[in-house]
Chains A and B, each alone.
Chain A
Amino acid sequence: MSHVANSKGRGGFIAGFLILPLALYLTFVIWPYVQTFGYSFTNWTGQSPTFDFVGLDNYSALMKDEVFRGALLHNLLLLVFVPTITILISLFFAFMLNAGGRGGAGGVQGVRGSALYKVIYFFPQVLSLAILAVLFGAVYRSDEGGLLNGFLTKLGLVDPAHPIEWLNEPNFVLWCLLLVVVWHGVGFYLVLFSAAMQSIPKDIYEAALLDGAKRAQTFFKVTLPLLWDSVQTSAVYLGIAAMDMFVLVSTMTSGQFGGGPDHHSEVMATVLMRNFLYFGKAGYACAMGVVMLVLTLILSAITLRATRREHVEF
């Protein structure tokens, strides 16, 4: 690097290359994030240029907001179930793919066609959430034309005269959305865990085999501990996704920006958008944004701490 460091025109070059990317990033990403904090202490409507500083009023109003509290509860539910279910299923399939093979080598041989399985499973990941929303909107249709009701009627589990209204059933709606997230996510995390499994040196498995370990034992005593870093990262990512949920809820459920029936599928993001674009309460919406940010940070920190293990180098 010495030539580089000493050649002339270096300072100007560095500045010239950084100025445009930095300017764009500051204007459209960093500054809006910072402003969110500022606006959250005002009664700004978003319509008029003037607003007053109201201190913590927005935050205390948030505490009393039943809809927001319900949304928070739903987010927390999703936060527990989305990562748990997705990670369990993906781990199961990743292990099947990499160790479900015929060979008796202590669970190190992959099944035949594992590459094809991975191609299929991963595909939902490249589809937009908008496509998922339309697709599952059709799957959950409340008459026989819906894939789910159609199947259940065929099996005789649902009375054709009274099909289940999946997305209008207060007790089902959140779980229906959860299934979409899991359907979408499993392929990605499976490929992720699969890559991590393949990077585990084989001699570890051979040693376990020589010691007489069975597949299940190998999984819990060898594979899982060595995979723990990826599991932990996945939990954080899935947790962040579970805090959002805007696209699916706002497009699949009833109500202005979704959340129906009767707020049973409300999440913080939909309440935020409704307050901002529909009720014109920009300051209040910003306060929700801040609460979401703080919760996201706390949860990432908790996940990382709670799942911390000795890091294994190999």
Chain B
Amino acid sequence: MTTVVKAPGEAAAEKKRASATGHPRGKRKSGSDGMVLNVFSHGFLAVWGILIILPLIWLVLGSFKTDVQIGESALSWPANWHFDAFPRAWDKGIGSYFANTIIVMVFSVPLTMLLGSMAAYVLARYPFRGNRPIYYFFVSGAMFPVFLALVPLFFMVKRLDMLNTFQGLILVYVAYSMPFTVFFMHSFFRTLPTAVHEAAVIDGASHTRIFFQVMMPMAKPGLISVGIFNVLGQWNQYILPSVLMQPQTGSDPERYMLTQGLIQLQYQMGYETDLPVLFAGVTIAMIPMLVVYLSFQRQIQAGLTSATLK
């Protein structure tokens, strides 16, 4: 995909070209047209921008209000700023849900990247019988909603005695991240030059060594893109943990993920009528995503859209 970059002088050159072609009337018309349209488009664009930002800011502001103030009027500014909802939300479980999510992802994201790259690499660069079918087999998993597999998946994890365990969820996350990771890394490994690889072979490096010491470093940009995607996807996952991470008996520990914990908190706060705590919890959950997004927004937008267009 090529991006059209407009050189500074280009617009002027275009105008000159347009007037040189001898359509003075047409030109003037489209000029004033452009003005009206410009104001018009900025108006619409700004309205949508406000529609996106306003609810989010409103929610964050709510975590500084009192419950009574939230209930009385939606449009009020926090009367006096209460910061205590944040530590309370943290103690209500957000802290441990946060930790649980981190524990799972510390293992699941690197494991996804490693296993996904291994499979993608072999499928992209080694022709062998059955290569295509295995590739399609991996990629086809992205087509179906998780839902259809949920019932048997639950019993599969149960049979392996891994319900409500971190290792169970880690393996399931890795498996369900496989289609996109293999698909993305496959196309990336195909674009890497073969010359470097051949040089390494002549130097007597083994296949495994070439993969880890030559190909993986070269694939770094691809790994970063797909890594961000997996971090977002696994951080935001709700359905898988809500089925697989339920305490099986009363004495089992709660091992909720952050998303699941937020919903739990929503139910709880509905009874206790302490909305600032809920809003503070959501704010805490949103901050890491905001940071990741603002740091990588270019890669995130490019990565997600190119994945869809294929």
Contacts and interface: CB of A to CB of B under 8 A. Distances in A.
Interface of A: 1, 3-5, 7, 9-11, 13-14, 16-18, 20-22, 24-25, 27-33, 35-36, 39, 46, 89, 92-93, 96-97, 100-106, 109, 111, 117-131, 133-139, 141, 143-147, 149-151, 154, 183, 186-188, 191-192, 195-196, 198-199, 201-202, 206, 209-210, 212, 214-215, 229-230, 233-234, 237, 240, 243-244, 246-247, 251, 269, 272-273, 276-277, 282, 285-286, 289-290, 292-293, 296, 300
B147 A214 contact: no
Per DSSP, are chain B's interface residues mostly helix, strand or loop, or mixed? helix
Contacts of B35: 102
6 residue pairs, one from A and one from B, having the closest CB atoms: A150-B74, A100-B41, A128-B236, A28-B175, A35-B152, A130-B259
Contact of B289 (A126, A143, A290): A126
A24 B175 contact: yes
Given A24-B115, A150-B75, A151-B75, 20 more contacts: A13-B126, A14-B122, A18-B119, A18-B123, A21-B116, A21-B118, A33-B144, A39-B152, A46-B151, A117-B49, A127-B289, A131-B259, A134-B59, A135-B55, A138-B62, A146-B74, A188-B304, A214-B30, A244-B145, A276-B151
Contacts of B156: 27-28, 31-32, 35
A4 B141 contact: no
B223 to A, nearest CB: 16
Contacts of B178: 21, 24-25, 29
A18 to B, nearest CB: 6
B136 interface: no
Contacts of B232: 126
B163 interface: no
B73 A144 contact: yes
Contacts of B192: none
A1 B42 contact: no
B55 A139 contact: yes
B45 A111 contact: yes
B149 A36 contact: yes
Interface stretch (B21-29, B78-86, B247-255): B21-29
Nearest to B122: A17
A9 B202 CA distance: 15
Nearest to B42: A111
B128 interface: yes
A28 to B, nearest CB: 4
Interface of B: 1-4, 6, 11, 14-15, 17-18, 21, 23, 26-27, 30-31, 33-35, 37-38, 40-42, 44-45, 48-49, 51-56, 58-59, 62, 70-75, 115-116, 118-119, 121-123, 125-128, 134, 137-138, 141, 143-145, 147-153, 155-157, 171-172, 174-176, 178-179, 182, 194, 197-198, 201-202, 206-208, 211, 232, 235-239, 243, 258-260, 262-263, 266, 275, 278-279, 282, 285-286, 289-290, 292-294, 297, 300-302, 304-305, 308-309
A125 B52 contact: no
A282 B153 CA distance: 12
B45 A93 contact: yes
Nearest to A149: B74
A138 B62 CA distance: 10
Chain A CB within 10 Å, residue with most, of B30, B121, B155, B179: B30
A93 B41 CA distance: 8
Contacts of A188: 304-305
Which of A130, A133, A141, A154 is packed against the most chain B CB atoms within 10 Å? A130
A129 B148 contact: no
